[in-house]
Each structure stands twice: as structure tokens, then as C-alpha cells.
Copies of this chain bind each other. A is one copy, B any other.
Amino acid sequence: MYSFDCQSRVRYADTDKMGYLYYGNYAILYEIGRVETMRSLGLTYQEMEDHHHIMMPVAHVESRFMLPAKYDELLTIRTTIEDRPGRIITFINDIFNQEMQLIHKAVVKLFFIDMKTNKNISCPSFLADKLLPYFE
């Protein structure tokens, strides 16, 4: 299991008429969570696309909204990889408000696509190898 915490502040742009973070904008938090989790492992998603020519489109998302996120709150995004990635990688996102209450949970599944052939591939070794120590 590998887990990483990062933070993101709720901006005015992200709120809606209800006064809270718009439900569609949580997906940006999942993105921030998984990109920063990869960076914490020494990889950037930018390099993955630009140097390795692998992209990771999202296949499936499940989101559970528990409490609203308020304007200007500094949210904590906890991203966990529970299972060794294969043709699918699964990121679990637990989002906490400033009082560290769990306000949101999501499970995001992504594919690996070889951008040259446009075909599904398995998790590339440069990512699998970084995760290996956490799944032993």
C-alpha cells in the first residue's frame, strides 16, 4: 500500500451558488492527488506523456459526498494505492476539511494507453518498480 497527502485550497472559482465546492470540481482534487502522489514517487505525469508516450485516461469514478467543502478551506487530499497496478491502476482519494473531518471519498480507475499504438498496456515498469517496495 502506498499513501500520500497533499493540500489544495477551495477557491471562489470552485464554489457554486450553494456556497460550497461544486460537486463537479472534486474531480480536480482527485487529479491533484494522483499527480502529486506520482511526483512523491519521483515520477511526473508530464514526463509520462512527453517522454514515455503513455497516457492515463480515466475509466471509472465512484464518488461519495459526505460533507460540503467550504470556500477558502485548505483541504487535505489523501491518495492511496491499495492494489498493485496491472492493466488498471486504482487511486483511492479521501478528502478531509480543515478540521480533518473526512468529507469525501472517491475511487478512480485509470488505464494505461501507449500513445504511439493507441492501445491499452499494462502498468509500465518504471512506475511498477517504484511501487514494488510498498506491496511486499
Whether B24 contacts A55 by the Cβ 8 Å rule is no
Whether A59 contacts B65 by the Cβ 8 Å rule is yes
Q: How far is the CB of A55 from chain B (nearest CB, A)?
A: 6
Sorting the interface of chain A by its residue count into under 10, 10 to 19, 20 to 34 or 35 or more gives 35 or more
Given contacts A46-B71, A60-B63, contact A31 B13 (CB under 8 A): yes
Whether B44 contacts A72 by the Cβ 8 Å rule is yes
Q: How far is the CB of A60 from chain B (nearest CB, A)?
A: 6
User: CA of A100 to CA of B65 in the docked complex: distance in angstroms?
Assistant: 31
Find chain B residues with CB under 8 A from A32 CB: 11
Query: Using a CB–CB distance below 8 Å, which chain A residues touch chain B?
Result: 11-13, 15-19, 22-28, 30-32, 35, 44-46, 49, 55, 57-65, 68, 71-72
A-B contact pairs, 17 of them (CB 8 A): A11-B35, A12-B31, A12-B45, A13-B27, A13-B31, A18-B57, A24-B25, A24-B30, A45-B72, A46-B72, A58-B65, A59-B64, A60-B62, A60-B65, A61-B62, A61-B63, A61-B65
